[in-house]
């Protein structure tokens, strides 16, 4: 069987916009090469984190997975469908949902349930099918009790859960989360991360989680690292986070616990491989 996501030598160049009145300084012009030949496969059901410095191409890659952007060169297949074939676009968007960073920009309706129904309504589904999907989606994120709420009465974390429910209502196989927790407080962050993990573990949803938090990335089964439009590392967190010097050179870091573990090892304390969490560390030390 083919992998769920297949990316072959993907290149993407943003068209350049130079406003006509912009004069003075040179250099800003020209095209921006955001992806420089990315190869990647992700299987159905994987939980993958994607990290990389600002501007490395993470969001650009994400936008290719549901045909918001189409390759300048190379190709992307979702469940065997090539995204650049115009007649595949709707099927691809149904299979891959997206959740973005800013909870306030993603909500369009005046109640939670209307917001979640927005996608299925646009798909032209019959009314009871829509109701079914909305109920299922709200149940999956634990917001059934909030269906009649106006979104502005919710916390940031709850708004993100509404956005996730909106994505779920299309019944996707995969959800791409582009920094879903960057603007949340720790409570909201936990709500969202717990939900993401549950959707992956219990509903088998393939997850691609873009994040600047190394601890969040350490929760995934597999960590991808991008730099300047290229995929430069790909492996389980315990292996990727062994390379602290390389990650720091890329503008990244280690999860705090891994950082502590590596310092202690350098000072001669024997610790097992793959210490990622507080619990791992306590088990190793006590």
Ligand X SMILES: Nc1ncnc2c1ncn2[C@@H]1O[C@H](COP(=O)(O)OP(=O)(O)OP(=O)(O)O)[C@@H](O)[C@H]1O
Residue 250 binds ligand X, judged by CB under 6 A: no
> What burial class does residue 112 get, using C-beta atoms within 10 Å of its C-beta: 0-12 exposed, 13-18 middle, 19+ buried?
buried
CB 85, min distance to another protein, A: 27
Q: Kindly give the interhelix angle for 156-168 and 112-122, rounded to the nearest 10 degrees.
A: 30
Q: How far is CA 120 from CA 17, 78, 130, 137, 194, in A?
A: 35, 21, 6, 11, 25
Residue 58 binds ligand X, judged by CB under 6 A: yes
- Identity of the residue, 145 or 267, whose beta carbon is nearer to another protein in the bound complex: 267
Identify the residue whose tokens are 């590392």.
233
Residue 90 binds ligand X, judged by CB under 6 A: no
- Identity of the residue, 41 or 155, whose beta carbon is nearer to another protein in the bound complex: 155
Residue 264 binds another protein, judged by CB under 8 A: yes
The string over 234-263, giving b where at least 16 C-beta atoms fall within 10 Å of a residue's C-beta and e elsewhere, is: beebeebbebeeebeebebbbbebbeebbe
Residue 272 binds another protein, judged by CB under 8 A: no
Residue 22 binds ligand X, judged by CB under 6 A: no
- In 3-state terms, what secondary structure has residue 233? strand
Give the footprint of another protein on this chain (CB under 8 A).
Answer: 14, 17-19, 21-22, 24-29, 32, 52-55, 59, 101-102, 104-105, 150, 152, 155-157, 179, 182-190, 212, 214-215, 248, 251-257, 259-260, 263-264, 267-269, 278-279, 281-282, 285-286
Give the footprint of ligand X on this chain (CB under 6 A).
Answer: 14, 32, 34, 52, 54-60
């Amino acid at each position: 069987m083919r992998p769920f996501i297949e990316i072959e030598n993907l290149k993407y160049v943003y068209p350049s916009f130079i406003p006509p009145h912009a004069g003075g300084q040179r250099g800003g012009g020209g095209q921006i090469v955001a992806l420089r030949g990315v190869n990647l496969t992700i299987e159905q059901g994987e939980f993958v984190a994607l990290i990389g410095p600002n501007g490395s191409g993470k969001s650009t890659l994400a936008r290719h997975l549901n045909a918001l952007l189409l390759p300048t060169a190379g190709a992307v297949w979702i469940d065997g469908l090539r995204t650049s074939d115009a007649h595949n676009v709707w099927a691809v968007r149904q299979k891959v949902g997206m959740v973005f960073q800013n909870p306030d920009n993603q909500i369009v309706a005046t109640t939670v349930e209307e917001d979640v129904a927005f996608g299925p309504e646009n798909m032209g589904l019959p009314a009871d099918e829509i109701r079914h999907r909305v109920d299922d989606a709200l149940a999956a994120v634990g917001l059934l009790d909030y269906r009649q709420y106006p979104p502005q009465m919710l916390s940031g974390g709850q708004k993100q859960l509404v956005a996730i429910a909106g994505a779920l209502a299309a019944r996707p196989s995969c959800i791409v989360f582009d920094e879903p927790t960057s603007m949340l407080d720790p409570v909201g962050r936990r709500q969202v991360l717990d939900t993401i993990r549950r959707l992956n573990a219990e509903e088998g949803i393939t997850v691609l989680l873009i994040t600047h938090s190394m601890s969040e990335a350490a929760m995934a089964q597999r960590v991808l690292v991008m730099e300047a439009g290229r995929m430069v590392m790909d492996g389980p967190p315990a292996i990727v986070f062994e390379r602290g010097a390389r990650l720091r050179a890329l503008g990244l870091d280690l999860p705090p616990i891994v950082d502590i573990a590596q310092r202690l090892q350098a000072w001669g304390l024997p610790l097992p491989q793959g210490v990622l969490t507080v619990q791992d560390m306590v088990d190793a030390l006590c």
